[in-house]
A and B are shown apart, each in its own frame.
Chain A
Amino acid sequence: QLQLQESGPGLVKPSETLSLTCTVSGGSISSSSYYWGWIRQPPGKGLEWIGSIYYSGSTYYNPSLKSRVTIFVDTSMSQFSLTLSSVTAADTAVYFCARHPTLHRVGLLGPYYVDVWGNGTTVTVSS
């Protein structure tokens, strides 16, 4: 059974770069059937999609975060990672990594629903 586990610092200073890694176990990160993504949830608020990556390296980002986000994949380590630059207090959130099936069968690119979620990791932006 596929599992996702987030890891990374729980505290980041304002203006610095947030970096998180998700380790995939129980399945292949190189599967052509899935994208791998990041979703966050500020305290007391709703879910926000950050971005997703295909094993080949193709990326899709939330337009509102695109200028600050990079997602990359390391298939040899079965990991994918998120960096978010120039963080502020507004970036304080629980960050989830996720698996999305593809829509390639109908000729559409990009991720859609999430069928597997990590447990989430809390990141606080504070000096």
Chain B
Amino acid sequence: QSALTQPASVSGSPGQSITISCTGTSSDVGGYNYVSWYQQHPGKAPKLMIYDVSNRPSGVSNRFSGSKSGNTASLTISGLQAEDEADYYCSSYTSSTSVLFGGGTKLTVL
């Protein structure tokens, strides 16, 4: 199984909005509403930001939102802040009862 496809990098200025895409297949992203997103700062463990496509865990800012259309899921961060600069990974449940991650996207806040 190949990793989910994410852009290597995205950037935005403080206050702007950015969107990170995550493309899979009908066996993973497209087949289930079980996409999750993680934020990882350098040297730290990942942090869950979105689960089940669009649900935010308690404590995660409502500036983070998720959506899905077909085989592509998206993470949108609105009102960009310097602290949002990090790597972001998507993940999906798959038809082979496994977990598949995306290759990761580096977000730069200009």
Chain A residues with a Cβ under 8 A of chain B: 37, 39, 46-49, 52, 60-64, 96, 100, 103, 108-115, 117-120
Q: How many residues of B contact A (CB 8 A)?
A: 24
Interface of A is mostly: loop
For the complex with contacts A113-B36, A114-B91, 4 further pairs of A-B residues with Cβ separation under 8 Å are A49-B91, A60-B97, A62-B98, A109-B97
Q: A46-B103, A112-B93 are in contact. Are A120 and B45 (CB under 8 A)?
A: yes
Q: How far is the CB of B51 from chain A (nearest CB, A)?
A: 5
> Is B104 on the interface with A (CB-CB < 8 A)?
yes
**Known A60-B98, A100-B99, A112-B99; contact A46-B36, beta-carbon cutoff 8 A:** no
A75 to chain B, nearest CB (A): 22
A48 touches B93 (CB 8 A): no
Interface centre among B36, B47, B98 (most CB of A within 10 A): B98
State A113–B50 Cα separation when bound (angstroms): 9
Q: Is B96 an interface residue (CB 8 A)?
A: yes
Q: Contacts A63-B1, A63-B98 known; A114 to B104 CB distance under 8 Å?
A: no
B102 pairs with A113, CB closer than 8 A: no
Task: Please provide the 6 A-B residue pairs with the shortest distance between their CB atoms, ordered closest to farther.
Answer: A110-B97, A113-B36, A49-B99, A117-B45, A112-B93, A46-B104
B100 close to chain A: CB less than 8 A: yes
Contact: A46 with B89, CB < 8 Å? yes
A47 & B48 in contact (Cβ 8 Å cutoff): no
Q: Max chain A CB contacts within 10 Å: which of B45, B96, B102?
A: B45
Closest chain B residue to A61 by CB distance?
Answer: B98
Closest Cβ–Cβ distance, residue B95 to chain A (whole Å)? 10
Assembly CA distance A100 to B38 (angstroms): 14
Our pick among A61, A103, A113 for the contact of B91 (Cβ within 8 Å) is: A113
